[in-house]
Chains A and B, each alone.
Chain A
Amino acid sequence: MKLKQLLKLILINITQNKMRTFLTTLGVIVGTATIFLVVAIGKGGEAQINEQYSKLNVGTIIVMAAPRGRVVDPLTKKDAQLFLASENITRAFPVLRGNGDINYDNYSTSGNYMAIQPEFQVSNNLIVEQGRELEEEDENKKNKCAVIGAELANTLTDGNPSEIVGHSISINSRKFEVVGIYKAVGDSGSGMSYDDSVFIPYSVGERFLLGTRANPTINVQATSIDTVQLAIEDITAILNETHRAGGAEQFRILDAGSRLVAAQESARSMSMLLLAVAIVVLIVSGIGIMNVMFVTVKERTREIGTLKAIGAKKREILGQFLIEAVVISLVGGVLGVIVGFVAVPLLKYFELPALPSISGILLGLVFSVITGVFFGFYPAWKAAEFNPIDALRYE
């Protein structure tokens, strides 16, 4: 029999049993939709990571206190200067972070502040929108001035940021004069948005806000991406030399490149986990298909006998039932992709980045077809192997 006629015959059987076909496809729908979404989430996550890290210079190295470790003698401004002696390092500057109450004109909010040296603005692409940036002179003279992020400026002024420049705000009850506002930069990738922070000169932060509790991180810029490892070795050597009490062990040295790799890896393992879930769903739904196909073959045993009596070959019977299973699973696959597309905006609503892709559609459909072939084969093979007379006599 020609494939076209075989397909017609199969469609007649499938369409006359729409409800069963639909119920059979349910599992495949869920499985395929899951695979589609796994790929979409994977792609979305990857895109998000790449976007975040595109803002981060890959030559950036961050030296900070090891998490949960006891720091015997913290990093200092002086360490940053020592790092600069390395030929592999072009920039090194300390940064202090903290949070507290920020007040402006009777409006109060709690927020982040960062004490930075002017170079920080260069390496983090912070550009002023209004007023001026923090300058060397502010650092040297310990000027109590501040530049604030776009978002924070908006919040403090209730949507009228320009008015704040030239006025004073207070951070933990210390007064600072606002000299400028940065342009919005979006998420920094470090979990803390610059747009929501206020920036003050390092020396001022050290002296007035954090005092002896100051425990800075040091941002280091390697001369190039190739010298990052050398720079890390130099930093380790210097820390071992200058912090004899605790050594370099009490600090953590991170470079942006390896953080990017780590983030990508965790996104990938998340995808793998979801993929495993999807495959389990498909296996379960495949077993469902197998069950239904067994019932179908059983119900149509006499019909199979008749077909054999009028000349159907084994492979034609096998083909008919196998293709029937594949068509059912493919219908489920297509519906699953559609369900997946519908679910994407839903995921976005829950702030899961999802990016539909051709490869997601194909992977979903391929898996649904594989499910149909794999689980449809045995019942179809059974049908093909019937001996005509036994099939005809079957009650």
Chain B
Amino acid sequence: MEHGAKIVIDTRQLVKIYQNGSEELKVLDDVNIKVSNSDFIAILGPSGSGKSTLMNILGCLDIPTSGQYYLDGLDVLKASDNELAEIRNKKIGFIFQKFNLLPKLTAVQNVMLPLLYRGVKEEEAWETAREKLSILGLEARLHHRPNELSGGQQQRVAIARAIVGTPQLLLADEPTGNLDSKSSGDAMEIFKELNRQGNTIVIITHDIEVAEQVRKIFYIRDGKIHENG
């Protein structure tokens, strides 16, 4: 951790318990992590170890059973629904493993959405979305629907949508899991470039090669987190 860098993610004693009938499943057990500004973090761990669970909490999509989570100094668990929506819209860019593009919208319309929810004017949102897509090499695919795009291209649309609102924090849950090694390499280059520009990035991966390219790795095992930077 660079000295004096601003802390973006700060979790304290995070616990997540799933209740399956009468059985309790403790997926996260006393998770304390700190991520500072401009960090590039990978979360590794066996399948079912709770990586996605943690990521969803960090992305303000889910809430822990107990513990605290400060995002950029703000106590997320005390925020109202509307405040959370605003945090997700402005501070976080979330990239899903399955991309989660809206099937009926074109690439550019998908990318515009976060800006529109922010109240940005349509023309302006369109221009920004187009710009991001061309940076990611999709200039010629603006009006394609997701089902008219390859996996790698869909991935890039999803990345464009995550970064279009210039959020401080980029969260990616196995962003390369569905891609061949070429596309996966391309995506990593994009993340590295974004990180160089100052974005804080957290990605989940199974891929050691991917993990080797980041600055710090968190391992999750049996609900506990181990840092290995």
Contact = CB atoms under 8 A, between A and B. Distances in A.
Interface string A8-25: 010011001000000000
A316 interface: yes
B85 A13 contact: no
A142 B8 CA distance: 117
Nearest to A315: B82
Contact of A314 (B81, B89, B122, B161): B81
A129 B89 CA distance: 86
A389 B119 contact: no
Contact of A310 (B103, B104, B114, B119): B114
B81 A313 contact: yes
Contacts, number: 74
A309 B103 CA distance: 16
A244 interface: no
Among B56, B101, B104, chain A packs the most CB atoms within 10 A around the CB of B104
B52 to A, nearest CB: 9
A66 interface: no
Interface string B191-210: 00000000000000000000
B61 interface: yes
A313 B119 CA distance: 12
B40 interface: no
B12 interface: no
A2 to B, nearest CB: 7
A308 interface: yes
Interface string A271-303: 000000000000000000000000000000011
A387 B88 CA distance: 13
A9 B161 CA distance: 16
Nearest to A317: B85
B82 A316 contact: no
Given A388-B61, A389-B61, A389-B62, A313 B104 contact: no
B59 A310 contact: no
B213 to A, nearest CB: 26
Given A12-B104, A389-B61, A310 B81 contact: no
Contacts of B56: 389, 392
B132 interface: no
B159 interface: no
B85 A313 contact: yes
Contacts of A310: 88-89, 94, 113-114, 117, 161
A314 to B, nearest CB: 6
B51 interface: no
B84 to A, nearest CB: 9
Contacts of B82: 313-314
Interface string B76-92: 00000110011011100
A2 B114 CA distance: 12
B116 interface: yes
Given A389-B56, A392-B61, A311 B118 contact: yes
Interface in A369-395: 387-389, 392
B102 interface: yes
B104 A16 contact: yes
A5 interface: yes
Given A310-B94, A310-B114, A5 B122 contact: yes
A4 interface: yes
Interface residues of A, number: 25
B162 to A, nearest CB: 8
Contacts of B5: none
B117 A309 contact: no
Nearest to A12: B104
A307 B113 contact: yes
B117 A316 contact: yes
Nearest to A13: B104
A231 B147 CA distance: 86
Contact of B88 (A1, A2, A9, A308): A308
Contacts of A314: 81-82, 85
Interface in A197-232: none
Contact of A308 (B85, B109, B122): B85
A302 B113 CA distance: 16
B105 interface: yes
Contact of B89 (A4, A5, A13, A311): A311
Given A1-B116, A388-B62, A309 B104 contact: no
A154 interface: no
A306 B61 contact: no
B134 interface: no
B65 interface: no
A311 B117 contact: yes
14 contacts: A1-B117, A2-B121, A305-B61, A308-B61, A308-B85, A308-B88, A309-B61, A310-B88, A310-B117, A311-B86, A313-B85, A388-B61, A389-B62, A392-B61
Given A13-B104, A313-B82, 10 more contacts: A16-B104, A306-B100, A310-B113, A310-B117, A311-B85, A311-B114, A313-B86, A314-B81, A316-B117, A388-B62
